[in-house]
Structure 1
Amino acid sequence: MNICFVISDIATEAIGTSVVLMKKVQERGHNLFVMSVGDFIFHHDKPISLRCKKIPKTPKSRTVEKFWDRVQDPELAYSVIGSDSLDVLFLRNNPTEETDDRHWAEHSGIAFARMIQQSGVLVLNDAFAMSHAFIDKLYFEELPSVIKPNSLITRNKEDLLKFWEEAGKKMVLKPLEGSGGQNVYLIDKDKKNLNQIIETISANGYVIAQEFLPEVSKGDVRVILMNGQILEEDGELAVIRRVNNDASEFRSNLALGAKAKKAKLTKEMQRIVDITAPKLKRDGLFFVGLDIVDDKLIEINVLSPGGLDYCKDIGLPDFTETVVKAIERKMEYKSFYQRELSNRELATMD
């Protein structure tokens, strides 16, 4: 299998879920290619090309750190390949984490992937589904209200103040487009710096106000789904609690210093999965992260969900073999059915 991972930038990518998945792909004997999102090349008369690195085979015993050092080594040359030589294109860049000087990178990966997908390469997640869910917090609002906290999306200050009053003078404000816990604020009865906060967030787009869930003080739980089911390996489930050691910090993002812990699946979490999964499967979203507090889904990540790189440290399997085997099965189904199965169907076929 020839598989290419699209990440934001090879030179700056940190070790995370994408990297541990790449390492497992190679360990299972596949041809691994890695590219930055800025390295698509369009020809009007031939398949799209990719400027990428083909990663030489390395011993399975090599650590993930040494593996990634090898990929990032400037002496490992780039080459240009045709997208028609690939079996799978795995989109793992996160558009919402791009800096202000890289607006071009936000949509380009998905846009080129749509074209490559139409040529017959398996794209994960489905590129048209990714386009639809590009603003994942807005995609989140398409889910049934019974599993979500009350929320409002607006750029109007008066609307936000009215929501704050109706929510018992306690709400969370965050940008509609963004991730990693950046520019997320808890607004309580003191309303400290509220005008400044609203101006800061709304300057870059819409604001989402969400009712505050007191249980968030205990952290949230990241549930990783694959093919619309909770990712499972060796009888263990990919359910990870994220807790911030700072009692005054209500955000539980690992990027902001929260700690990962092994968590148990509750019936409330399972209900959220059961309600969410049919839509994810229909839309072609292969690999998705759900963030849950108590009995409410507070966020969904369809662009580049993470968490697998923490699993081994907290007593869980690394889950990467299960993910790669699932991709292998999709390629087998594709060989059997040729063009009878759409990319969207294959993307979530178990």
Structure 2
Amino acid sequence: MRIAFFVNSVEGEAPYYTTTWLALAALARGHEVCYVTPGDFVLRPDDSLLIRATTLKGTKPKKPETLLTALKGEQAKISTLDLHEVQVLFLRNDPSEDADTRPWAVYVGTNFGRLAAARGVLVVNDPDGLSLAQNKLYFQEFPEIIRPTSLISRSIEEIRSFIEDHPGGAILKPLQGSGGKNVFKINSKDEANLNQIFEVASGGGYLIAQNYIPDAVAGDIRLFLLNGRPLERDGVYAAFRRVPAEGDVRSNMHVSGTPEAATVTPEILEIAERLRPKLIEDGMFLVGLDIVGDKVLEANVFTPGGLPEIAALHGVDFSEDIMIALENKVRIQELYRGAIPNRTLAVL
């Protein structure tokens, strides 16, 4: 089968990205891969949907660095493909990355993803589900018991009042954002630079304030869910602990977070089970949960990363499991001749 990976840009892809490892797993299993970016869709007057895809010529790469060198070099080929030539469209972009510089690109994946699904292409995660998750308001739809206490506002007075009600401190971050950008820990409503923090964090719109969880000092646990259930092979879970650098509240890998092995407890599995109904309803094929104590800080449904770190820690590359799951879905789709809705098929 041919899998198209939708990303922000080919140039921005890196060897340690989970998308890179997924592409390598697809190639290793005999599939074709191509990369698509926000400017690569074409809807013609005859209603045909095409993509200008970056494909590979010659030998199939086997290492992350080799793959990306090929995609960005002379081995790359730009081909115009009808979407009927693609079996899977894997949406792996980060909309918040484009929000400031290319606002037109933010909704391209979900909008054209819907068109692709209507034409019989398996699209994961489901574009209708992803359209509900364009910002952290989506997280408020999960059970209250597994969420930190939160306030969403653009009022600094409301935020001061929230901080006053939580003497243990609060985390302040943009409602639309990812990757640990503009995330701050506020210890008191009288913090000297609160006004400046507010201006920086609210530059993109609304803010979300959450009560600080002391266990976060040891980092969070990133747990992958596949088809709504914890991804696991032979007793090993697709999970790792992200430990923040000293003095930093963020545990994201690209801001100096350190990966460590994590123990997935029955309590963590129970948290995942409580999220499962909503994730299934929304067609969320691959999700990364960030868990601290008995709370989920975030459900990453666009670009959950960490598979390379898990492979290094446990010697298990879960990219193959994800490819096998996609193969099974494509077989089901062919068997039922497209009668099963994409949102249902995405999590079967």
Fold similarity call, TM over 0.5: yes
- In 2, Cα distance between the equivalents of 1:69 and 1:229? 34
Equivalent position of 1:242 in the other structure: 242
- In 2, Cα distance between the equivalents of 1:219 and 1:150? 19
- In 2, Cα distance between the equivalents of 1:192 and 1:48? 54
- Map residues 126-205 of structure 1 onto 2, 5 A cutoff: 126-135=126-135, 137-168=136-167, 170-189=169-188, 191-205=191-205
- Cα distance 1:57–1:23, how it changes in 2: closer, same or farther (>3 A)? farther
CA deviations on 1:194-232 (whole Å, 9 max, x unpaired) are 011112222310000000000000000000111011112
- Cα distance 1:69–1:294, how it changes in 2: closer, same or farther (>3 A)? same
CA deviations on 1:221-258 (whole Å, 9 max, x unpaired) are 00011101111223310111000231x11211111011
- In 2, Cα distance between the equivalents of 1:223 and 1:286? 14
Q: What is the SS of the residue equivalent to 2:270?
A: helix
Equivalent position of 1:266 in the other structure: 265
Amino acid at match of 1:54: T
- Percentage of pairs with the same residue: 39
Identify unmatched segments of 5+ residues in structure 2.
none
Is contact 1:58-1:67 (8 Å) kept?
A: no
Q: What is the SS of the residue equivalent to 1:111?
A: helix
- Map residues 316-335 of structure 1 onto 2, 5 A cutoff: 316-335=315-334
**Alpha-carbon deviation of 1:57?**
5.8
Is contact 2:245-2:251 (8 Å) kept?
A: no
Q: What is the SS of the residue equivalent to 2:77?
A: coil
**Alpha-carbon deviation of 1:312?**
2.1
Q: What is the SS of the residue equivalent to 1:10?
A: coil
Equivalent position of 1:24 in the other structure: 25
Amino acid at match of 1:82: D
Runs (4+) of structure 1 exceeding 6 A deviation are none
Q: Please report the RMSD computed on the Cα atoms of aligned residues, expressed in angstroms.
A: 1.4
Q: Which region of structure 1 is more displaced relative to structure 2, 197-206 or 19-28?
A: 197-206
Matched, 1:42 2:43: yes
Tell me the matched-pair count. Answer: 346
**Alpha-carbon deviation of 1:268?**
2.1
Equivalent position of 1:104 in the other structure: 104
- Map residues 44-83 of structure 1 onto 2, 5 A cutoff: 44-56=45-57, 58=59, 62-74=62-74, 76-83=76-83
**Alpha-carbon deviation of 1:75?**
5.1
- In 2, Cα distance between the equivalents of 1:213 and 1:6? 35
**Alpha-carbon deviation of 1:85?**
1.4
- In 1, Cα distance between the equivalents of 2:57 and 2:324? 21
CA deviations on 1:119-149 (whole Å, 9 max, x unpaired) are 11110001111111121x1111100110111
Amino acid at match of 1:270: L
Equivalent position of 1:121 in the other structure: 121
Q: What is the SS of the residue equivalent to 1:53?
A: strand
- In 1, Cα distance between the equivalents of 2:239 and 2:330? 27
- In 2, Cα distance between the equivalents of 1:256 and 1:99? 20
Is contact 1:262-1:316 (8 Å) kept?
A: no
Identify unmatched segments of 5+ residues in structure 1.
none
**Alpha-carbon deviation of 1:104?**
1.5
Name the TM-score, length of structure 1 as normaliser: 0.95
Amino acid at match of 1:293: V
Amino acid at match of 2:41: F
- In 2, Cα distance between the equivalents of 1:316 and 1:106? 35
Is contact 2:27-2:60 (8 Å) kept?
A: no
**Alpha-carbon deviation of 1:48?**
1.3
- In 1, Cα distance between the equivalents of 2:60 and 2:111? 35
Q: Which region of structure 1 is more displaced relative to structure 2, 321-330 or 96-105?
A: 96-105
Is contact 2:56-2:77 (8 Å) kept?
A: no
Is contact 2:219-2:292 (8 Å) kept?
A: yes
Is contact 1:177-1:205 (8 Å) kept?
A: yes
Equivalent position of 1:254 in the other structure: 253
**Alpha-carbon deviation of 1:265?**
0.5
- In 1, Cα distance between the equivalents of 2:315 and 2:45? 47
Is contact 1:169-1:187 (8 Å) kept?
A: no
